[in-house]
Amino acid sequence: MEIRRDDMGMNKHSQRKAILAQAFLTTAVLLVTATNGMTAGFPALLLPQLESENSTLPTTEEEGSWITSIHSIVTPIGSLASGPIMERLGRRTTLLLSIVPGLMGWLTISLSKSHTTILIGRSLTGITTGLSAPPALVLLAEMAEPKLRGFLVGAPSTSFSIGILIIYSLNTILPWQMVAAVATTLPFIAFASFFLLPESPLWLAKMNRPDEAMKSLTWLRGGNAEQARQELELLEEQQQHNKIIEEACSDIKSRSSARPILRALMVANVFNFFQVMAGTFTIIFYAVSVLQQATGGQVSDTDVAVITALTRVILTTMACFMLLRIGRRPMTISSGVGSGIAAFVLSAWLYWVPESDDHAWVPAALIIVFVIFNSYGFFMIQGLMIGEMFPARARGPASGITCAIINVTLFATSKTYPWMTHVLKPTGLFLFFGLMTAAGTLFAYLFIPETQGSTLAEIEEHFSGPSLIWRSKSIRKNADGVNDQDAEVAILRV
């Protein structure tokens, strides 16, 4: 919820109830994103089972690349559809509907006897990922206080990582059909939970449903009706302000209002391109294969894959708390520097010491170091940008477009990974990861703004400014320098 509430005090009882209410909603959302993590991580240990000599469903490398990448082919379809759906039906309703194809997909995989049915199941789970990711981030961003927004919007990255860890762990002890059957548990619980949760009050207010918005917001604020009433009054003032602007100067507004949207889209998607190309998701999709390539099969690749997943869970959890006190920029830049160095060192090690029985653990350790640095910054910032950078009036479509572009890039990288390992070899592959990480870090240093503690209105004000290059210590510093009238316009703008 993006309103200033400095004078709207809440007693401790209401605060506790509000925290519990928002935690309940957040947990339901995180169950969905954890399921998306299970979908992403499933091929990493599925393919070694299918490609083994005693496989019940013999699979070639080409067939395996399609099983991995088809998820990313259909995900953009869901992402592009999610924007219009969540603007028309609401954030919570879109999340509820998005779970259905995923449940069908996991059940299809669990009953699969052929590659075709696995591909169908993976396609259905990919649609769920595309449909659910944008409304999950938007819903969390809209209900969160500015001081807690980084923590709550960053939490899906942790739950995504937990989903990867769950699916890796299950794959080490169960056959893949049984793993798929067990994977239906989380989406089923989430589906049931959403029937008990309210719709986004901001969306309800935009749809001129004030009574429902009041009920929803009162629940989220721990039963504090006065708090909810004052927030809704500010929302009404905001809507009236926007209407006056639209009627008075529609042509000027259409041009000026498009500027922060297009600029935010550019910054988010260029960085996301470098993030994906830097190997962030390649190691998730092909964990065992990457480790086999790097270590020559001299270490327990399955165990190390689980360790990388556990490492990602620990680091993303720590990052959620770090985001309460540390800015986005230092976390992202230090993450890029650390993971880039790890990738370059691993490439050099593989070049100078291609195979060593005495030091086989070194490549595995460097991959874990890469995951450690990559997880708390590069991996986290993607969701934060989607949740924070886009203005409210375009948050649904813009987040859908961004998720679609991410998954088109993911398809390209996951489908071409086998080819890249043959052409570049592990040495060249990690050199490529290092170069893309360096490029992403430089881009983050130049263009990603520091949004910690800033309202969504202040973030939009930054993207409406004269330059995209980041020069200030914080957005709030710039906002504090404007006069009272300008500040009021900035607060009401979204």
What mean pLDDT do residues 201-218 have?
85
Instruction: Report the predicted TM-score, pTM, of the whole model to 2 decimal places.
Output: 0.75
Nearest to 374 by CA among 413, 325, 340: 340
On whether the CB atoms of residues 440 and 376 are closer than 8 A, the answer is no
Out of 167-176, 193-202, 297-306, pick the least confident. Answer: 297-306
Task: Report which listed range, 21-35, 115-129, 253-267, is most confident.
Answer: 115-129
| pLDDT above 90 as % of the chain | 29
The residue with greater pLDDT, 11 or 324, is 324
Helix (H, G, I), strand (E, B) or coil at 165: helix
> What's the rounded Cα separation, in Å, for the pair 40 and 125?
9
Out of 65-69, 119-123, 239-243, 384-388, pick the least confident. Answer: 239-243
Name the DSSP class of 3: -
Instruction: Give me the pLDDT at residue 252, please.
Output: 43
Name the DSSP class of 472: S
User: Residues 382, 383, 385, CA angle at the centre, nearest 5°?
Assistant: 70
Out of 232-241, 248-257, 328-337, pick the least confident. Answer: 248-257
Task: Report which listed range, 72-86, 288-302, 378-392, 464-478, is most confident.
Answer: 72-86
**Lookup: tokens for 57:** 């469903």
Domain boundaries of the chain, sorted by first residue: 18-197+249-492
Cα distances (angstroms) measured from residue 351 to each of 101, 246, 288, 429: 45, 61, 20, 11
Nearest to 136 by CA among 400, 322, 457, 393: 400
> What's the rounded Cα separation, in Å, for the pair 1 and 18?
13
On whether the CB atoms of residues 328 and 384 are closer than 8 A, the answer is yes
Instruction: Give me the pLDDT at residue 300, please.
Output: 62
> What's the rounded Cα separation, in Å, for the pair 405 and 382?
12
Query: Cα–chain-centroid distance for residue 372?
Result: 17
309-322 tens-digit pLDDT = 888 899 888 888 88
What mean pLDDT do residues 297-315 have?
78
Instruction: Give me the pLDDT at residue 476, please.
Output: 58
Helix (H, G, I), strand (E, B) or coil at 170: helix
Out of 202-206, 315-319, 389-393, pick the least confident. Answer: 389-393
Instruction: Give me the pLDDT at residue 53, please.
Output: 80
Out of 92-106, 208-222, 226-240, pick the least confident. Answer: 226-240
pLDDT of 69 > 60? The answer is: yes
Instruction: Give me the pLDDT at residue 184, please.
Output: 95
Instruction: Give me the pLDDT at residue 49, please.
Output: 85
Instruction: Give me the chain's average pLDDT, please.
Output: 81
Judging by beta carbons within 10 Å of its beta carbon (0-12, 13-18, 19+), is residue 252 exposed, middle or buried?
exposed
Out of 237-241, 264-268, 424-428, pick the least confident. Answer: 237-241
Instruction: Give me the pLDDT at residue 401, please.
Output: 87
The residue with greater pLDDT, 482 or 470, is 470
| pLDDT above 70 as % of the chain | 83
**Lookup: tokens for 382:** 């993607």
Cα distances (angstroms) measured from residue 56 to each of 91, 321, 390: 42, 45, 48
Helix boundaries (H) for 200-327? 201-206, 210-220, 225-248, 250-277, 282-285, 287-295, 301-322
pLDDT of 296 > 80? The answer is: no
What mean pLDDT do residues 263-284 have?
90
pLDDT of 1 > 60? The answer is: no
Instruction: Give me the pLDDT at residue 248, please.
Output: 52
Instruction: Give me the pLDDT at residue 274, please.
Output: 95
Out of 198-207, 248-257, 289-298, pick the least confident. Answer: 248-257
What mean pLDDT do residues 140-162 have?
76
Q: Binning pLDDT at 50, 70 and 90, where does residue 298 land?
A: low
| HSE, side-chain direction, 13 A CA sphere, residue 71 | 29
340-369 tens-digit pLDDT = 999 999 999 888 876 655 677 788 888 889
Instruction: Give me the pLDDT at residue 441, please.
Output: 96
The residue with greater pLDDT, 379 or 250, is 379
Cα distances (angstroms) measured from residue 308 to each of 58, 65, 197, 280, 374: 27, 21, 34, 12, 11
CATH T-level assignment (fold) for domain 18-197+249-492: Growth Hormone; Chain: A; (1.20.1250)
Instruction: Give me the pLDDT at residue 456, please.
Output: 66
411-467 tens-digit pLDDT = 888 888 888 888 888 899 999 999 999 999 999 999 988 887 777 677 777 787 777
pLDDT of 267 > 80? The answer is: yes
For tokens 């500010």, the residue is 234
What mean pLDDT do residues 52-77 have?
87
Nearest to 312 by CA among 48, 90, 40: 40
pLDDT of 384 > 50? The answer is: yes
Listing DSSP states for 312-330 in one string gives: HHHHHHHHHHHTTTS-HHH
